A and B are shown apart, each in its own frame.
Chain A
Amino acid sequence: MTEITPGADLLPEDAPAPVSRSQWWDVWDQFKTHKGAVLGLGFLVFITLFAAVGPVIWDVDPGKLDIRNKDVRPLYVALWDGDAKVSWTRPMGTDHLGRDIMANIMQGGRISLAVGWTAMILAILIGTTIGVVAGYFRRLDGLLMRFTDLVLALPLLPLLLVMMLLFRDPLRAAFGPENGIFILIVTGIGITSWMQTARIVRGDVMALKEREFVLAARSIGTPARRMITRHLLPNVLSPIMVSATLGLATAIITESALSFLGLGFPSDFPTWGKILFDSVDRMVAFPERVLFPGLAISLTVLSVNYIGDGLRDALDPRIRGL
């Protein structure tokens, strides 16, 4: 039995460390050696703090219109263009209605990050569960995969319109207009983006199930639940990580597409995707308006990707052992 899973069973051998030192310390040690992952984690912490704590320090209302100070350029433009309209009180400039861009990026980050993470986690949870169950239990495979085909075939726009129709008012009454729409959007994105993960996980699980170590584990009577959590899940972790990274980007962008269709947040709620979308028409005259939200989305996705890589390496005992 050569296949090794990241389980606690093997640790005592190569861990002369004190008992209190859990396997997670080893994971962390290994993780730290991955430069990209550390940088990514640093950026993610920064952007999260920027969005979460930023508005407390930078106390400007993102919705506040100041039409006299519209189209202010960010500070750095003054470096090469002495005549540019810049202002120290507006470090990233203002938009065409005089709203502060920095405040909007912060506020937008809160919503985009929240939507992105929640929708992605939801999609990964549903996808992984359905994928593992379908791959492992042959009896359920047909039913679950036909269900996946059905959801894949549903046109997204009418589906969201119907959800809007049925649930918007009850959710608004129960959680208030902002939280209500948040739940709706996150659920909408989550339940329409798990299918790829499910099919990938199922494919891998079907192959793993026939491998020797699984057969061996089954032959000693390991129950299904332990089989899945101990032996199968750890081995499909890397495609799940990829799905998660791609899913985060997709969720942030899908949210902006929904706002574009009038199905997302009300227009006075900035999100990164929406700021980017609204600024495309003016990208030649005001490149910063597409640059800031674009960078925020890309760098977030990139850092999650590197963290995923780092975690994958750190959780892989074959690498960690070296």
Chain B
Amino acid sequence: MLTFTIRRLLLSIPTLLFIAFVIFMLLELAPGDPMGQMPLTIPDEVKQRMREALGLGEPWYTRFALWLYQFFVVEPQYWIDNAFGTNFADGKQRIISFQSRAPVFDIIAQRMPQTLWVVGMSYIVGILIALPIGIISAYKQYSVFDQSGTFITMIGFSIPPFFTGPLLIVIFAVQLDWLPSIYDTTHVVRDWETFKFQIWQMVLPVMVLALQTTAQIARYMRASMLDNLGQDYVRTARAKGLSESIVVMKHVLRNSMIPVVTVIALGIPSIFGGAIITEQVFKVNGLGQLLILALQGADIPMVMTITFLLAVLIVLMNLIADILYGVLDPRIRYD
């Protein structure tokens, strides 16, 4: 397993470089212009000069090489400088966003808290609700619990967040006036009161997002459990006189986890990709909002950096999923 992991990690370096290249070319090809959101009152010659000031006059390979250099050399140097007070970076240009002219990594760091609070929390909540629902639904197939669980999760999944979000706002913020409709990103949790406020303002977006996660994971969990409950090894285990809880929770659950692990692992990068629509509806302004604004504004350094970081996460998470397959089912071998 260790050699497999090391081999895969080494292999992921060229993979990621290739992904970076493909993403860059895609952004190059895509229509879009950092000047697209400037008002029409600014004449074209001025826009052209502004583009040149952003470095867009250079050919693509120069800009790609520059990005690689900044990402892999300048930024780490900068972090080392910050951590140890050294001076490797020596005033070299960091990756700068086109829209705000600020270092991309500083902005990403600024966005991380609200993304983790809201999107990350909703993911955890979603998984914690989904797993029991999936297990019980499968164990008591076609019971009332199973039927209502199926009904609610499927309705929840098929109604898009651009509708559930405003609906919850109208009910809980406008009519009942219980919860805020706009997330305060500057809020700092210091004591119990501020923590309570933080929970209040997270409730609505977390609810919307958790609904989607829950539905998905619960369905896969249920289907996979059902497949395994009918297998002969379950009958054998029961015949051996093992208690029902050990049969279900140890044998069946473990063998049913492969699809669920896959789905959860695929979902983790998307936490960091943010939840574009939900963030917009509640004005959470996390990474999702950052990414969509950067895409709309053709902010290539920002889009490139975020998507590349996501690619790193995707590759890592899929590697972890592959390792977990081996743990869950020792018969799976990668040699």
Contact = CB atoms under 8 A, between A and B. Distances in A.
Interface of A: 2-3, 36, 142, 145-146, 148-150, 152-155, 157-159, 161-162, 165, 195-196, 199-200, 203-204, 206-207, 210-211, 235, 238-239, 241-242, 245-246, 249, 252-253, 256-257, 260, 273, 276-277, 280, 283-284, 290, 294, 297-298, 300-302, 305-306, 309, 312, 316, 318-319
Given A242-B223, A246-B215, 19 more contacts: A3-B231, A142-B11, A149-B315, A153-B308, A154-B26, A155-B23, A155-B295, A158-B29, A158-B30, A210-B329, A235-B227, A239-B224, A241-B223, A245-B219, A253-B158, A280-B163, A290-B167, A302-B151, A302-B158
- Chain B residues touching A, majority SS: helix
A148 B22 CA distance: 13
A242 B220 contact: yes
A210 B227 contact: no
Contacts of A152: 266, 269, 311, 314
Given A159-B26, A210-B332, A302-B158, A149 B32 contact: no
Contact of A203 (B29, B147, B157, B325): B325
Contacts of B19: 149-150, 153
Interface in B300-335: 303, 307-308, 310-311, 314-315, 318, 321, 325, 329, 331-333
A194 to B, nearest CB: 12
Interface in B211-227: 215-216, 219-220, 223-224, 226-227
A207 B223 contact: no
B163 A207 contact: no
B103 interface: no
B26 A158 contact: yes
A318 B227 CA distance: 11
A283 B332 contact: no
Given A142-B11, A283-B167, A301-B157, A196 B263 contact: yes
Interface of B: 11, 15, 18-19, 22-23, 26-27, 29-32, 147, 150-151, 154-155, 157-160, 162-163, 166-167, 170, 215-216, 219-220, 223-224, 226-227, 230-232, 255, 258-259, 261-263, 266, 269, 277, 291-292, 295, 303, 307-308, 310-311, 314-315, 318, 321, 325, 329, 331-333
A203 B61 CA distance: 38
A279 to B, nearest CB: 9
A203 B163 contact: no
Nearest to A155: B307
B157 to A, nearest CB: 6
Nearest to A241: B223
Contact of B266 (A142, A199, A249, A253): A199
Nearest to A201: B259
Contacts of B291: 155
Nearest to A297: B158
Nearest 9 A/B pairs, CB to CB:
A153-B311, A210-B331, A158-B30, A301-B158, A238-B223, A249-B158, A161-B30, A203-B258, A253-B160
A258 B226 CA distance: 36
A300 B19 CA distance: 37
Contacts of A290: 163, 167
8 contacts: A149-B311, A154-B22, A154-B23, A158-B30, A159-B26, A161-B31, A207-B331, A207-B332
Nearest to A293: B163
Contacts of A235: 227
Instruction: Name, among A195, A200, A318, the residue most crowded by chain B CB atoms within 10 Å (CB to CB).
Output: A200
Contacts of B269: 152
B55 to A, nearest CB: 19
B241 to A, nearest CB: 20
Contacts of A309: 150
Contacts of B158: 249, 252-253, 297-298, 300-302
B315 A207 contact: no
Nearest to B333: A210
Nearest to A195: B266
A294 B31 contact: no
Given A155-B26, A204-B258, A298 B227 contact: no
